[in-house]
Amino acid sequence: MEFWLLVVISILLILIFILLFKLFLVQKTAREIEAQFAERLMTETNTLIDISYQDKNMRRLAERLNSELRKLRKERHRFQQGDLELKSAVTNISHDLRTPLTAISGYLDLLDNVEKSEAAERYIEVIKNRTEVLKQLTEELFRYSIITSPEYDNSVELVVVNVVLEESILGFYAALQERKITPNISMTEKKVIRKVNRAALSRIFSNLINNAIKYSDGDLNITLTDAGKITFSNTASDLSEVDVKRLFDRFYTVENARKSTGLGLSISRILIEQMNGTISAQYENGKLTICIQLPDVSDD
């Protein structure tokens, strides 16, 4: 009796061991599938999920995931192709519009020297303003299509941020005077050197200053710290928390910004990220603050 009891116990132990070993293999395979699936989703690769365990159920799961990966890659390729075609179309359209708009502006300037009625002067002024807005919108579209192009040159060099910021502020002297805005500038005397694309950094500063001039209630504060943190802040009573959360979204505009494509801040975000920096916006007590942080040279 004891002999058969030992036999039964031995068989049970063997079965338990086999089941535990099979469970171990299933868990190991599940981890393999999980890791490979996550890797395939994050990287541009044509390889599929491959598992070492030959269990038919796990093989079926791997095949099903591979089938979904193939579909996903096809959709991704179609999206990328469509995105490239859209960017190409935007580039061509904006480029084609620049020449006639410049010509229209030229003819309107010539009309300034022609004698005309008061009503005609008003109409011409309206046309000039609308043409200028169209030129700006076209320029933003063209610039956006360029910086998102794979051929865009975003090479970096060592740049003194203080100098670029000063030049950008001076470039808006007339616009600031026209809006009666006297900027409050607090800039460290220490040279803040960062490895960036100088033209891109200048464009970012220009976009942010221009944005502040357009939508500020009459003030503008610009700071540059020793640590290289750059902030632009201004009172903007027309904004809301929703607006601020979407400020860097492509083509997003606030309700009172009908003359904008909503690309200026989106362009700034793209350029900052291309240089491994960060840009963020906060809205508190009616004041909008946009903060830029560029990586320290030592971080390289």
**pLDDT (average), residues 277-296:** 90
Which whole number is the average pLDDT over 4-19?
A: 81
pLDDT tens for each residue of 14-43: 888 888 888 887 788 888 877 887 777 777
List the single range of 8-17, 79-88, 161-170, 229-238 with lowest mean pLDDT. Answer: 79-88
Entry pTM: 0.63
pLDDT band at 254 (very low <50, low <70, confident <90, very high): low
Distance CA 144, CA 250 (A): 10
Residue 107 pLDDT: 76
User: If you search the block for the tokens 């169209």, which residue do you land on?
Assistant: 134
Instruction: Please enumerate in sequence order all residues whose Cβ is within 8 A of that of 267, keeping only pairs 6 or more positions apart, or say none.
Output: 140, 143, 144, 147, 203, 207
Q: Please state, for a pLDDT cut of 70, what percent of the chain lies above it.
A: 88
Q: Where in the chain is the domain with CATH 3.30.565.10?
A: 157-299
DSSP per residue over 128-152, as a string? Answer: HHHHHHHHHHHHHHHHHHHHTSTT-
The class level of CATH for 157-299 reads alpha beta
What confidence tens digit (pLDDT) does each residue in 125-158 have?
888 888 887 887 787 777 777 787 777 778 889 9
State the Cα torsion 190-191-194-200 to the nearest 10°.
110
User: Is the model's pLDDT at 172 over the cut of 90?
Assistant: yes
For residues 165-185, average pLDDT: 92
pLDDT at 291 over 90: yes
DSSP calls for 241-291: HHHHHTTTSTT---TT-TT--S-HHHHHHHHHHHTT-EEEEEEETTEEEEE
pLDDT, residue 241, reads 65
The average pLDDT across 51-64 equals 78
Measure Cα distances from 208 to 121, 151, 205 in Å.
33, 25, 5
pLDDT of amino acid 194: 94
Q: Percent of the chain scored above 90 by pLDDT?
A: 25
Q: Which comes out higher in pLDDT, residue 73 or 46?
A: 73
Dihedral angle, C-alpha 19, 23, 28, 30, nearest 10 °:
140
pLDDT for residue 82: 67
Q: What is the pLDDT of residues 189-218, one digit of tens each?
A: 999 999 999 999 999 999 899 888 887 888
Question: Which of 58-67, 88-97, 179-188, 227-236 is predicted least confidently?
Answer: 88-97
Sheet-wide strand order for 221-224: 184-187, 221-224, 229-235, 287-293, 278-284
The pLDDT value given to residue 257:
47
What pLDDT, on the 0 to 100 scale, is given for residue 222? 96
Based on the number of CB atoms within 10 Å of its own CB, is 270 exposed (0-12), middle (13-18) or buried (19 or more)? buried
Amino acid at 226: D
pLDDT at 49 over 60: yes
For 155, the 3-state DSSP assignment is coil
Q: Please, which pLDDT band fits residue 256 given cuts at 50, 70 and 90?
A: very low
**For residue 268, which amino acid is it?**
S
Q: What is the mean pLDDT of the chain?
A: 81
How far is it, in rounded angstroms, from Cα 230 to Cα 268? Answer: 13
